[in-house]
Amino acid sequence: MKSILITSGRIIDPANKTDQIADIFVKNEKISQIGKNLKIDADILIDAKNKVVSPGFVDMHSHLREPGREDKETIYTASLAAASGGITSIVAMPNTDPVADDQTVIEFILSKAAKESLVNIFPCGSITVGEKGNKISEIWELKQSGAIAVSDDGRDVQNADLYRKAMQYCRTHNMPIISHTEDHNLSEGGLMHEGTISSKLGLKGIPACSEDIATAKIICLVEDTGHKAHFTHVSSKGAVDLIALAQSKKLKITADTTPHHFSLTDEAVEKHGTFAKVHPPLRSENHRKALIKALKNNTISTISSDHAPHLWKEKECEFDKAAVGISGFETFLPLIITNLFNPKHLSLSQALAKITINPAKILGLKKGTLSPGADADICIFDPKESFTVDRFAFKSKGKNSPFHGMKVFGKVHKTIVNGEIRITD
């Protein structure tokens, strides 16, 4: 393992409230020393002048597709795309084929990641067997196998009694729940946000209250069981208001939203068609503004990519048949810089906290910090450097992005994972 000396960078580490020009010495996979004008012989010297040096990003919601849909993405290609975006730790959602509902699938993912991944991969198991919502998975077995959380992402658990029992079980084993919130009675068959645009396009809408009602249900269960819950890809103003109320009551509630939800509205469907088809859907401007306000006041404390790669043919088709999701790893940081930092909604330190130490704390990971002794997961980027998004240049197999052709700011130059340079310009 080669030692690395990173010099003259603007070190921003929200975990330690650090924002200074200094050097970082990396040795034996760890952050060894931070200081000004370090006089240390290192195997590799990196000049980070005029660039930001931050902890590597922790993305707590992504879809790697392996096992089962290696035509869409593999653990290797996903890790390459993540590293290209400065992401050094990713949580893999369980809706693979087969579903990650038992020890075998979790161990397969970890084994494959150990051999092929360029970044840290943490599998998430499913709350219910097959994500069918009928029977609770063997949650203790999932945790013992290496799963760090459970979720039925893609389809919310509709049975409140079963969800309550799952929360009680998760509390016993201190297992985080990542909650996809949706009432299927209201959303089934919906293709985009219900509103003026859906009516104009003649597409069946998904009302915001589908998310709001499901959010209220989970909050009630958290209050009843005393267990924590994390709401993922929050998209509606009603959900934000409910989460804020729950947090004011000191309930163990956290939340994330995605770059596409705070960057776009349902009007993007008119312009980008199926490439703007996501789940939950892009909503109207009042919802987008509510998300930004929640990011500013920390009601939403984390940002996740919800990276969802698909085949080209799965997007280039009729809207009702098109797959849902955006390939999000490689536009993760640029959308945060362009749409949150540049408009001064968040400082750079506040923005980075939402993709480093905050998700790490929620998941109980020893990541997201540049503290001496911490794993040497580092991103070096230039927040002022602009470029035009080219989805065909993505390292991910998934080229499905509505941001193609958009000018953005925030260029990743180097990504270091456990002391090894994985991506370099």
Q: Tell me which residues are annotated as active site.
A: 306
**DSSP labels for 352-376?**
HHTTTHHHHHHHT-S-S---TTSB-
In the block, which residue shows the tokens 């400065």?
A: 86
First-last CA distance in the chain: 21
The single-letter code of the amino acid at 270 is E
Cis peptide bond N-terminal to 402, omega within 30: no
Give the distance between the most distant pair of CA atoms in the chain: 66
- Residue 243 near residue 220, CB atoms below 8 Å: no
Residue 276, number of CB atoms within 10 A of its CB: 24
Residue 78 CB-density burial (10 A; 0-12 exposed, 13-18 middle, 19+ buried): buried
The single-letter code of the amino acid at 363 is L
Residue 421, number of CB atoms within 10 A of its CB: 17
